[in-house]
Structure 1
Amino acid sequence: MADSQLLSAHKWRNLAGFWTLGLCNNFAYVIMLSAAHDILKDQEEKTQKDENITTTPTSTNVTYLECNEISTGAILLADIIPTLVIKLTAPFFILHISYKVRVLACVLFSLASFLIVSFSTGIWMSILGVVCASISGGLGETTYFGFSSYFEKNVISAYSSGTGGAGIFGALSYAGLTSAGLSPRTTLLVMTIIPALMFISFFFVIKKPNKFYQKEYIVKYSEDTSSLLKDSEDAADKIKRRLTIRDKLHLLKPLMKYMVPLCVVYIAEYFINQGLYELLYFNDIWLSEKEQYRWYQVDYQLGVFISRSSVNVFKINKLWILPVLQVANVAILTTQVFLRFIPNIWIIFVIVLFEGLLGGAAFVNTFYKISEDIEAEYKEFSLSAATIADSFGITLAGAISIPTHNHICSLNLKM
């Protein structure tokens, strides 16, 4: 009885620990995207002031669409390209690095991101801080998904729920604290508690199983069957070795059915977030232009949080449905930028919430299906490698959103 109670306590500790890791790992990333509009606006105003550039005040009834000179897609690229580089390369070497070392690196880069942006004196210093957040998030995601392979599969849903929690709590805390009167800089300094929570969760909360401390070996790959050899009666009798680069490249092919839908969802999703959000504002309503951008982020992250926490209740097996629906959202909101046919911001909020639901569902269902479908022998590599899909999609979205934003702004569209 005592043993079962101990196991149950360990299970809940691990679920709570993985949830917190998900929260902390994505928090800096979310904050940087929520703050993107303010970061760019602040730096542009500084530049204008330093160069004694004066601008004619605009009336409250704005006739033409107003834009930042630099799209928030620039912040998105700074926030995702380092992550993509890490994810593309990490599965091939990172298993040789201790999890403790990796987590400490995540903590330090996350802390640096908040501090650098808080004390930034120029746009490139701000972007350097965003890059630090990206390194922390990318390294963390490959680390924690690989780490999850040592535990029961429910820790994946806990971690995914935590990343969704980072979205809603990150966006909400930023919007709430800035709306309450704190400056963006002070708000970012408050957020330095997050790296400390990450450290505590990994080193003190999660109860690591004995097999985590044992040297990791992979069963020998069989060319004849195109699969790994099955477990024998005695693990000591297995022919064990680590996967070679060739083996790992071969294992990427069956992952494509999971990765391609996820990638397309994220291309559409982040094109909306960083290419269209700041162009979807309404004039003369109860929210300013800046506040509308912030609360779009909160609304989107609420949808992500709900869907990333729902896989044990509602599981989606046909992953291709999700990119189709997300592309439809792109079409609707792009049309809104040009035609302004949606008369009320609440309708936009509903669409944005649905966008977040689709994005979160794609993420958690993809990794949950991988954890169910892939054999245990190479699950650790597969879960780490599949994280490439969302980052690749986000990178493409950022690259597309910048010229799109600039082109739309050059058209002088009437509001």
Structure 2
Amino acid sequence: MTFLATRGHLGTRAMWTQTQRPSPTITHLDLTATLSPQLPRVLVSGVCAAGSFILVAFSHSVGTSLCGVVLASISSGLGEVTFLSLTSFYPRAVISWWSSGTGGAGLLGALSYLGLTQAGLSPQHTLLSMLGIPALLLASYFFLLTFPEPQDPGGEEEAERAARQPLISSEAPESKPDTSSNLSLQEKWTVFKGLLWHIIPLVLVYFAEYFINQGLFELLFFRNSSLSHAQQYRWYQMLYQAGVFASRSSLRCCHIRFTWALALLQCLNLAFLLADVWLSFLPSIYLVFLIILFEGLLGGAAYVNTFYNIAQETTDKHREFAMAAACISDTLGISLSGILALPLHDFLCHLS
């Protein structure tokens, strides 16, 4: 019996031949697949991340700063779709660790910027101090990631497979994860339609979440606070990221299957904070701190549970494509919120 496992970060393929016992041994290592799609994506992601820090740090105009933001978005989006699709070649528990890592990255970024600027470092030098992060990304990709172990066809894998509700029903036995390029357009479309139940609530969560972050954070200003306007904004960002990190790390403690409830709660969050910006009825900034922490908890929980549910409900053959396709959820939600939040923010500023 033959298994095909793919090394994610170099796209290297290794063939294991299994005889009568399930102890695989490597019999062939094909290095011709080194330049698979993952390698250039990760390189571009790292270069764009470094370019974004440099552009914004030395920017003297809004246009240049926006170009830096675009590069950061390219780096984030390309990295997410690449590494999430690679999780299909590892045990499903890796989804929890991936989500926890992304939440930790957001919290570490917010805390480091808040701490360094509070300590007196200029925003320019703070951004330049972050140039080591893209280098760490590339180093971890090339030197830290390991070959995914071939899974024993018995035991836990069989139990998971029996309990799974696949997005595409099929009587054929499941194969080990293969590249999504082997799927036909019809198969991809069928898988994508099955993903909509997971994609739509995550789009709504991210729409409401980033509508708050991009359109309302700056307007939630308390003049009677000891914190300046800029400091209040930084604390909002830090608390939001803390909530995201906590909930993205909670999968082993709390698994939420029906993510529509999270979407509803996040939309209620948006409505409540929008009403406060309009009417200014909240008496204390600490109440806003709690709401923003709750906002982060909802967003992180929606993210980790959505991708875990997809990993559970897709067959091995379709999982890589499904994980990559579902990445449009947060991108679409963030983009739509930005389109609507910008004019609303300007409108509310004119009113005040």
TM-score bin (small chain): 0.7 to 0.9
Residues 99 and 249 in structure 2, CA contact (< 8 A), matched pair in contact too: yes
Aligned twin of 2:262: 322
Which ranges of structure 2 fall in alignment gaps of 5 or more residues? 1-7, 10-34, 151-166
Aligned twin of 1:195: 134
What is the alpha-carbon distance in structure 1 between the residues aligned to residue 36 and residue 190 of structure 2?
23
Aligned twin of 1:285: 225
Aligned twin of 1:219: none
CA displacement at 1:130 relative to structure 2: 1.0
Change (3 A) 1:299 1:226: closer
Aligned twin of 2:123: 184
What is the alpha-carbon distance in structure 1 between the residues aligned to residue 109 and residue 148 of structure 2?
31
Aligned twin of 1:172: 111
Residue 84 (structure 2) pairs with residue 154 (structure 1): no
Q: Deviations over 1:58-88 (max 9, x none)?
A: xxxxxxxxxxxxxxxxxxxxxxxxxxxxxxx
What is the alpha-carbon distance in structure 2 between the residues aligned to residue 247 and residue 375 of structure 1?
12
Aligned twin of 2:285: 345
Aligned twin of 1:115: 54
Residue 44 (structure 2) pairs with residue 105 (structure 1): yes
Change (3 A) 1:147 1:200: same
Residue 205 (structure 2) pairs with residue 271 (structure 1): no
Change (3 A) 1:228 1:188: farther
Residue 235 (structure 2) pairs with residue 295 (structure 1): yes
Change (3 A) 1:226 1:373: closer
Which ranges of structure 1 fall in alignment gaps of 5 or more residues? 1-13, 18-95, 212-224
What is the alpha-carbon distance in structure 1 between the residues aligned to residue 39 and residue 57 of structure 2?
28
Aligned twin of 1:257: 197
CA displacement at 1:168 relative to structure 2: 0.9
Residue 169 (structure 2) pairs with residue 230 (structure 1): no
% same residue: 47
Aligned residues, how many? 302
What is the alpha-carbon distance in structure 2 between the residues aligned to residue 241 and residue 117 of structure 1?
37
What is the alpha-carbon distance in structure 2 between the residues aligned to residue 369 and residue 155 of structure 1?
13
Q: Over the residues paired in the alignment, what is the CA RMSD in angstroms? A: 2.2
What is the alpha-carbon distance in structure 1 between the residues aligned to residue 51 and residue 261 of structure 2?
39
What is the alpha-carbon distance in structure 1 between the residues aligned to residue 316 and residue 254 of structure 2?
24
What is the alpha-carbon distance in structure 2 between the residues aligned to residue 202 and residue 344 of structure 1?
45
Residues 304 and 356 in structure 1, CA contact (< 8 A), matched pair in contact too: yes
Residues 228 and 377 in structure 1, CA contact (< 8 A), matched pair in contact too: no
Q: How does 1:3-402 map to 2 (within 5 A)?
A: 97-209=36-148, 227=169, 230-231=172-173, 242-402=182-342
Q: Deviations over 1:193-222 (max 9, x none)?
A: 1101111211111112377xxxxxxxxxxx
Given residue 113 of structure 1, which amino acid in structure 2 is its aligned partner?
S
Residues 306 and 357 in structure 1, CA contact (< 8 A), matched pair in contact too: yes
Q: Deviations over 1:18-40 (max 9, x none)?
A: xxxxxxxxxxxxxxxxxxxxxxx
Given residue 347 of structure 2, which amino acid in structure 1 is its aligned partner?
H
Aligned twin of 1:30: none
CA displacement at 1:230 relative to structure 2: 2.2
CA displacement at 1:277 relative to structure 2: 0.5
What is the alpha-carbon distance in structure 2 between the residues aligned to residue 98 and residue 327 of structure 1?
37
What is the alpha-carbon distance in structure 2 between the residues aligned to residue 128 and residue 229 of structure 1?
50
Higher RCO (CA < 8 A, seq sep 6+): 1
Residues 45 and 74 in structure 2, CA contact (< 8 A), matched pair in contact too: yes
Q: Find the residue that maps to 1:182 and give its secondary structure.
A: coil
What is the alpha-carbon distance in structure 2 between the residues aligned to residue 241 and residue 396 of structure 1?
29
Q: Deviations over 1:79-110 (max 9, x none)?
A: xxxxxxxxxxxxxxxxx943222211111111
Residues 114 and 189 in structure 1, CA contact (< 8 A), matched pair in contact too: yes
What is the alpha-carbon distance in structure 2 between the residues aligned to residue 266 and residue 367 of structure 1?
14
Change (3 A) 1:149 1:182: same
CA displacement at 1:229 relative to structure 2: 5.9
Given residue 353 of structure 1, which amino acid in structure 2 is its aligned partner?
L
Change (3 A) 1:283 1:254: same
Aligned twin of 2:5: none
Q: Deviations over 1:382-406 (max 9, x none)?
A: 0000010111011111111011101
What is the alpha-carbon distance in structure 2 between the residues aligned to residue 251 and residue 153 of structure 1?
19
